[in-house]
Chain A
Amino acid sequence: MTTPALATGPTARPAVPTRRPTFGDVLRSEWIKLASLPSAVLALVGILVVGLGGSLFLGATLESSGVPSTPSLERTIGDVTIPMVVLGQIVAGILGVMSVGAEYSSGSIQTTLMAVPTRLRVLWAKAIVQFLAVTGTALVTVFGAWAATYPFYAKHGLEAPLSGPGVLVALLGAAAYLGMCAVVGVGIGMLVRSTTVGAILIFAATLLGPILASALPYSLISRIARVVLLGNAGDTMARVESPGGPFLDIWSGHISTAAGWLIVSLWVVLALAAGAIALQNRDA
């Protein structure tokens, strides 16, 4: 493209490179941004350390805390995944929020959007990069925790082999849930543009909300809250399901694994949609 304007000067410059940047380029840019932030790398390492450490602690203290008399895949896998999920969901969510909030607080969002004026690309690229980085870290964490604690449980015949019903689904679900929390964080970050506010929302949706909902007196609202909050739904993704339960029972608060995936997916869709609308329509 050599517009007439380029040739009007006394010495016309050579035509500018006209290759349109691809989505892959934006992805690579966002990847460099994530990997070059010590705080972000530290957060990922934090998920690994807390998840692995927590499971090892539970495995190593199995005898002193009382060995269950009957083998239970639910309990063994819960010991493997839940230590990572409890703290990891917050870390992952805040990491996602931070990837956007830090751009707004530092002003680098200007630089980012000037380089990528098709703004939604920035949102999708951030979401994908966050999901891959967090889910990847979480996969290493849960499978590492599973392998590292296997001997403790095998000693008492409580081991949960990967071939056990629902075991693989729970391990994969735990990792995917953390990645999805990060994506929810990206969407919320685009909406509120503040790491602090976004972190509070993430904390409320994952940990505080479920606790408050369970403390509330039984009412329709508290029952619904217990089912739709991100933390409770994510919890079921990381657990082995007891067979034969209903898909979703608001009255008893029962969420099946499939319903858990569905509810967390809805959070992802809603957060991304809200973030997309905000990013597209508001001034940077």
Chain B
Amino acid sequence: MIRVQTLTKQYGRKTAVDGIDFTIAPGTVTGFLGPNGAGKSTTMRMIMGLDRPTSGTATVNGRAYRDLTAPLHEVGALLDARAAHRGRSAYKHLLALAATHRIPTARVHEVIGLAGLESVAHKRVGGFSLGMGQRLGIAAALLGDPQTVILDEPVNGLDPEGILWIRALLRQLAAESRTVMLSSHLMSEMTQTADHLIVIGRGAILADGPMHEVISGATRTVVRVRTRDVNGLSAAVLFSDVAADAPVEVVVSSAADGAVEIEGLTAEQVAGAAAAAGVVLFELTTREGSLEEAYLSLTADAAEYRAMTAAVKGAAR
């Protein structure tokens, strides 16, 4: 359980994290999303006791990180894949870490095996690829068999096999009712791994909820229809009984490719209305928003560093 309350971090006059609140429950993989510079890493560093909050608190299992009895057994974190001395072997790096909590050498070998590092364990970290560095960081995070796991961009640099591995690993950790906090810029990866989302932008929480709620709250679900009789369809749909009973206003718009998009009704309702009016349809699909669309729409105004504003906004539509 991670709890963050009115957490604020200021660097000089710049506010990196602005009074955010959230709770991450055990048994879920919680995705932590946001543009570069949104405050993700700063938040994670404050949870791990590395940065001191300007105000507010961050606790793990009800206690500030510095007050944990045996921190490696309670929280394991990967914040930076390069966080090992280049001149030391992966094995010795883990061994020195294990020594702080008297974690047996057998466990060091176990996490090396778990991370698939057996063949390079005695090689210097300096020669590692980014993917191998990530595996070493994950091995270090799991060393104490912690209840809470915090991973900042763990899939960067991993090969497809590694990405599959980490996805399965995180799902398994959540199934063991551990708390998993995961940040990533890879939306497809997040979609497949996380079941809860926290979106942060410019130091503030933009969305916090189950994955499907965040997506449906930030994107349109439309029914795409093709017909030769666009006017007939519009009339049939807009003045139908189902439209009158619909909880939200029904909107009909034409897409760039000539299709018609109807918002506010299900495919079944659209098909029913068209059939009743005798309008012939030759395509009927429900198009749900993706996490990527939801993310871009949520963070459209919060992106700190943006290359092509118009292009990004266009993609968010």
Instruction: List residues of A whose CB falls within 8 A of some B CB.
Output: 1, 3, 5-6, 8-13, 16-21, 25-26, 28-30, 32-33, 36-39, 102-103, 106-111, 113-118, 281, 283-284
Contact = CB atoms under 8 A, between A and B. Distances in A.
A284 B50 contact: yes
Contact of A111 (B52, B74, B92, B140): B140
Nearest to B50: A284
Interface pairs A-B: 6 shortest CB-CB: A9-B177, A36-B92, A5-B1, A107-B83, A29-B99, A32-B96
Given A16-B74, A110-B79, A29 B69 contact: no
Interface stretch (B58-66, B212-220, B248-256, B258-266): B58-66
A94 to B, nearest CB: 15
Interface residues of B, number: 50
A117 B26 contact: no
A20 B1 CA distance: 20
B68 A117 contact: yes
A37 B65 CA distance: 29
Choose among B65, B66, B177, B178 the residue with the greatest number of A CB atoms under 10 Å from its CB.
B177
Interface string B136-154: 0000100011110000000
Contact of A9 (B26, B71, B72): B26
A36 B102 CA distance: 18
Contacts of B77: 114
A145 to B, nearest CB: 29
Interface of B: 1, 25-27, 45, 48-52, 61-62, 65-66, 68-75, 77, 79-80, 82-89, 92-93, 95-97, 99-102, 140, 144-147, 176-178
Contact of A12 (B51, B86, B87, B177): B177
B50 A114 contact: yes
A131 to B, nearest CB: 19
A247 to B, nearest CB: 44
A26 B66 CA distance: 15
B88 A5 contact: no
Contacts of B82: 106-107
B73 A6 contact: no
A36 B66 contact: no
Contacts of A103: 85
Nearest to A30: B96
Contacts of A30: 96
Contacts of A13: 147, 176-178
Contact of A5 (B51, B61, B75, B80): B61
Given A11-B177, A284-B51, A19 B27 contact: no
Given A5-B61, A28-B99, A107-B80, A36 B89 contact: yes
Given A5-B1, A110-B48, 18 more contacts: A3-B62, A6-B26, A16-B147, A20-B69, A20-B70, A25-B102, A29-B99, A33-B85, A36-B96, A107-B84, A108-B93, A110-B50, A111-B84, A114-B75, A115-B71, A117-B49, A283-B50, A284-B51
Contact of A106 (B48, B72, B86): B86
Nearest to B86: A106
Given A9-B26, A37-B88, A18 B69 contact: yes
B100 A29 contact: yes
Contacts of B146: 16
B50 A5 contact: no
A19 B69 CA distance: 7
Contacts of A284: 45, 50-51
Given A5-B1, A20-B69, A108 B84 contact: yes
Contact of A117 (B66, B83, B97): B66
Contacts of A21: 70, 100-102
